[in-house]
Amino acid sequence: MTRFLLRRVAEAVGALFGIMILIFALLHLYHGSPAAAILGKQVTPQRIAHLNAQMGLNRPVPIQFLLWMKAALWNGALVGVLTRLLPPTVELLGLGVLVAVLLAVVAATVQVHHSRSLLDRAIGVILNTLSAIPGFWLGSLLVFVFAVTYPILPASGVPVMHHGLGTWFRHEIMPVTTLSLSVVGPWARHLRASLDEAGTADYVRTARAKGVAEFNLVRHHTFKNSLLPLITIIGMSLPTMLNTVIALEIIFAIRGLGVALIVSLNGLFFALATTVSLALALVTVLGSLCADVAYGLVDPRIQYR
């Protein structure tokens, strides 16, 4: 297990370096002038040239990349972004994953327990409908209903925990609900398929023949063996969830990585945009690494070589 983790960490570092090069190159394909965007109405050719020299934007792109790497990794730019902007994003992402997993487990378990019943079909219709609704549209709809039409919940901003647990919880309800409902459909369907497949195994048929109740059969015999496909789809869903998180941070005015990315791109702040993109890539890579580790925790029979 230790050798596997070391290998995965090395692969993650290599992937992050490749992502850094790709992001930096893509941002510099845009021919806008960051200096002109910063100067605004005071822009003149002389001031643009002076600011470009100060920022190093008049140097070759490879040199700019090395300067940005030095600023991000050695001068603390990445650490500053992670310290200030990462907690709200990870908080929303983590709570969304947790709620989505709970909803998927409940939905799949109920469907298996009431297979081919009216309840099973109703849950399937609801899950398919949620899968077809974009997260940003669902978030906007919740704001319109619960913050504008019926002002029950706050529409924007997530305060820190020390402002009060109740206040924090009320601000988290809509963004976390939106994120979890945007992914619960495919997660529940995959878990339901895994539970159905596990239900045909010999040991399950033996337990059923001994008179084990169907609910206990699912909970004690088939559920744990069905978690591996769920862990796989959770790891694969992280990039899509991060895209949804960026949209939700804008909709609900949460000051996280998503808002910082949009602001930096609109202002042509290439260095900040690249650093924020690297932080988002870091979250994705670490999420994938956690999914790999979870395989061994769920099923110790898996051997990493």
Q: What is the pLDDT of residues 97-115, one digit of tens each?
A: 999 999 998 998 888 878 8
pLDDT tens digits, 279-296: 888 888 888 888 877 776
Cα(266)–Cα(85) distance, integer angstroms: 18
Element (H, E) at 81: helix 77-113
pLDDT score at 103: 94
Between CA 97 and CA 103 the distance in angstroms is: 10
* Residue 273 CB contacts under 8 Å (≥ 6 apart), including other chains: 27, 261, 264, 265
How many CB atoms sit inside 10 A of residue 235's CB? 18
Torsion 184-190-196-199 (CA) sign: negative
Q: Which is more confidently placed, 121 or 297?
A: 121
End-to-end CA distance of the chain: 8
Q: Specify the pLDDT at position 9.
A: 80
Q: Per-residue b/e over 264-283, b at no fewer than 16 CB within 10 Å?
A: bbeebbbbbbbbbbbbbbbb
What 3 state SS string does 150-216 have?
Answer: CCCCCCCCCCCHHHCHHHHHHHHHHHHHHHHHHHHHHHHHHHHHHHHHHCCCHHHHHHHHCCCCHHH
Structure tokens, 4? 């596997």
This prediction's pTM: 0.81
Of 28-42, 56-70, 236-250, 255-269, the range with the lowest mean pLDDT is 28-42
Say yes or no to pLDDT of 277 above 70: yes
Q: What average pLDDT score do residues 224-253 get?
A: 86
The model's confidence at residue 138, banded by pLDDT at 50, 70 and 90, is very high
Q: Which domains does the chain have, with CATH numbers?
A: 88-252 (1.10.3720.10)
